[in-house]
Amino acid sequence: MINLSKRITTLEVQRTRLGSEVVVAGFVEQTKLLGKMAFLKLRDREGYVQIVATSNYPKMKDLNTISRESVISIRGRVKKSKARSGGKELELIELNLLSRAATPLPIEFLGKNIETDLSKRLDWRFLDMRNKKIQAIFEIKAEIARAFREFFRNEGFTEIWTPSIISSSSEGGTELFEAKYFNKKVFLAQSPQLYKQMAVMSNLEKVFMISPVWRAEPHDTHKHLNEVRQMDIEVAFAGQKEVINYLDRCVKYIVRSVLKNCKSQVALVNPGLKVPASKYISYDEAIATLQKQKFKIKWGSDISSEAEQKLGDIFGRDNLLHIHNWPSAEKPFYIMPQGENPSAKYSEGFDTEYGGIELSSGGQRVHIPVILEKQLKERGLKPKDFKRYIDSFRYGAPPHAGWSIGLERLTMIITGRANIRESVLFPRTRDRLTP
């Protein structure tokens, strides 16, 4: 039996001295029997290595029975490859079949041009993930999360974790998933918004987090999911301008980290990726720009997906477009009206677009109870339903601001995917609960 504790990767094979005996393991991607020789292409996380069996190998006929995607371990001797591409290969000494793959395979997942539709690929996601291009998406996603944490730790922020089970809506509205909690009805959190604000008021001052959130909205678009991971920050003694600056520098830091640490992955999925430039316009300027381009939109309305794409065409989809000073009526109840004036026309809220879609939304929060109560009522919400939240501002609350970025949406943009489902291992939408 081959000792798997001695296993090295296919990449390490290329660094190993000629004549050395090594152990490798992985998936059989291809088998060829040519006269008195056989060739196996073995794949692992790091790449590929060719296994060559000569007439000296006693079980040559058995090699032809190994189905594609079966898992094997082999002991072999490192040799110089005779292939045109050069490098090193392994002369087979011993082989163990660890798991035989059933045939035929339910989907085709290898090759440069995969024609299997996305829905079928998601049905067989564990196979789809064996494609290096698909694997690259999630290696980049991991780097995005790592760089996000690194950036804010370097900025002196504290990482926090907030509840996923809540007793009532975090932001108002009814787009929540209900759940049973002992003998009570509870909900899955649609945002950590209210909790991260309370964390800032606890004297932590600067906090960040990556957390799952759920939205019970019946979307069926290329950019929406019902379960996502959010990357959030909240900062005391800060306003709209300061947190836009954090957002701008953070995204650029993330892209630089991806370009530096995921070179091979970027080459596979989005070779044109570059660090974005920054564009700043007010909401009024955004609406006027769209209207000048004959795009039908009225002042005071939300910026639709089509409008986002148009702005991306105008200002460059590779750039970060920060749209600040939104009308108060278009922002949530917890966004501060300008000048702390409850009757102000404009708010301290902003949106940031990247890749022709909304990447982030945020702004300065309301930290004055009387303004908070007024804005709740104006939006048809009852202040008594938010009593604990409002009360947290009654005992000394600094001005503060923050934002959130969808991890999957940023991954979608950076990896150049057309559908956000491709940036999730196992996406959850209104029609998909498996695998």
pLDDT tens-digit map of 45-69: 999 999 999 988 988 989 989 999 9
CB 254 within 8 A of CB 148: yes
In a domain, 178, yes or no: yes
Contact 14/22 with Cβ under 8 angstroms? no
pLDDT bin (cut points 50, 70, 90) of residue 76 is: very high
Same domain, 145 and 71: no
| CA–CA dist 246, 364 (Å, integer) | 13
The single-letter code of the amino acid at 23 is V
% of the chain beyond a pLDDT of 70: 98
Looking at the fold, whether 174 and 301 belong to one and the same domain comes out as yes
* pLDDT single digits (tens) 223-282: 999 999 999 999 999 999 999 999 999 999 999 999 999 999 999 999 999 999 999 999
Cα 1 to Cα 40, 94, 101, 326, distances in angstroms:
20, 9, 20, 68
Task: Give the pLDDT mean for 120-130.
Answer: 95
Do 88 and 140 fall within a single domain? no
**318 falls within a domain:** yes
The enclosing domain of 34 has a CATH number of 2.40.50.140
Contact between 238 and 363 under an 8 Å Cβ cutoff? The reply is no
User: Kind of pairing, strands 158-159 and 206-214?
Assistant: parallel
State whether 250 and 370 are in the same domain: yes
* The pLDDT of residue 362: 97
User: Whose CA is closest to 26, among 39, 10, 6, 2?
Assistant: 10
Q: Which residue has the higher pLDDT, 256 or 171?
A: 256
Q: What pLDDT shows up at residue 174? A: 58
Q: Judge if 158 and 94 occupy the same domain.
A: no
Give the model's pLDDT for residue 171.
59
Domain assignment of residue 110, yes or no: no
Q: Left (φ > 0), alpha (ψ -120 to 50) or beta: where does 306 sit?
A: alpha
Kindly state whether residues 83 and 140 are assigned to the same domain.
Answer: no
Quick one: average pLDDT of 348-354? 98
- Of 82, 99, 116, the last residue of a domain is 99
Q: Is residue 181 located within the same domain as residue 299? A: yes
Q: What average pLDDT does the segment 323-348 reach?
A: 94
Whether residues 177 and 55 fall in one domain: no
| In a shared domain, residues 131 and 95 | no
Structural domains in the chain (count): 2
CB-side neighbour CA atoms (13 Å) of 213 = 26
Question: Per the domain annotation, does 435 fall within a domain?
Answer: no
Is 409 part of any domain? yes
- Residue 38's beta-bridge partner residues? 33, 53
Q: What is the pLDDT of residues 85-115, one digit of tens each?
A: 789 999 999 999 999 999 999 999 987 677 7
Nearest-Å Rg of the Cα atoms of the chain is 27
Q: What is the structure's pLDDT at 21?
A: 97
Domain ends where: 53, 81, 99? 99
Tracing tokens 């009206």 back to the chain, one arrives at 337
Question: How many whole angstroms separate alpha carbon 230 and alpha carbon 212?
Answer: 6
Q: Are 166 and 211 in contact (CB under 8 A)?
A: no
- 275 lies in which domain range? 127-423
Residues 314 and 250 in one domain: yes
pLDDT of 330 over the 80 cut: yes
45 falls within a domain: yes
Which residue reads 């404009």 in tokens? 346
pLDDT surpasses 70 at 166: yes
Q: What is the DSSP letter of 245?
A: H
Q: State the pLDDT at residue 385.
A: 85
Over residues 141-166, mean pLDDT: 97
Please say if the pLDDT value at position 37 is more than 60.
Answer: yes
Q: Is residue 288 part of a domain?
A: yes
Q: What is the pLDDT of residue 55?
A: 85
Least confident of 165-179, 207-221, 288-302: 165-179
- Contact 247/360 with Cβ under 8 angstroms? yes
Assess if residue 282 is contained within a domain.
yes
My answer on whether 264 and 333 are in the same domain is yes
The predicted model gives 72-87 an average pLDDT of: 91
Q: Are strands 47-53 and 88-99 parallel, antiparallel or unpaired?
A: parallel
Residue at a domain's end among 99, 117, 137: 99
pLDDT of residue 170: 58
What pLDDT shows up at residue 111? 73
Beta strands in 148-273 (DSSP E): 158-159, 165-166, 178-181, 184-188, 206-214, 227-236
pLDDT given for residue 173 in this prediction: 57
Q: What is the mean pLDDT of the chain?
A: 94
Give the pLDDT of residue 405: 98
DSSP state of 201: I
Contact assessment for residue 44 and residue 78, using Cβ atoms and an 8 Å cutoff: no
Q: Residue 345 is part of a domain; what is its CATH number? A: 3.30.930.10
> Is the Cβ–Cβ distance between 26 and 42 less than 8 Å?
yes
If pLDDT is split at 50, 70 and 90, which confidence band does 169 have? low
Residues 188 and 132 in one domain: yes
Most distant CA atoms of the chain, gap in Å:
88
What pLDDT, in 10s, does the model give residues 370-422?
Answer: 999 999 999 999 999 889 889 999 999 999 999 999 999 999 999 999 999 99
Q: What is the pTM of this model?
A: 0.94
pLDDT of residue 73: 98
